[in-house]
Amino acid sequence: MNPLTLALRLQEHLRAHNTTGHRSYALSMSVGIVTYDPESPTSITELLSRADAAMYQEKRAHHGTDGGNPPP
């Protein structure tokens, strides 16, 4: 399964979960997806930094906010 499909499925399950029950809160998640290319090695630190940046970009695009946490 590709990462985008997995993220979309997780979002769908969270939406479904939030519509059931009577909670005073709703669960949410943010995902930053990057790929590793073994022909162009990158450190785990760099991959995490890129994933973080992708997550904040996605949050701004869909929610107009970064959750109060600027990217590093």
Please list the pLDDT of the chain residue by residue as tens digits (72 residues): 898 899 999 999 999 999 998 889 999 888 999 999 999 999 999 999 999 999 999 888 877 655 555 444
Q: How far apart are CA 41 and CA 37, in angstroms?
A: 6
pLDDT score at 25: 92
Answer whether 32's CB lies under 8 Å from 52's CB: yes
How is the chain split into domains, by residue range? 31-66
List the structure tokens of 50: 């890129």
pLDDT score at 68: 52
Indicate the pTM of the whole model.
0.66
Answer whether 51's CB lies under 8 Å from 32's CB: yes
pLDDT score at 22: 86
Q: How far apart are CA 11 and CA 16, in angstroms?
A: 9
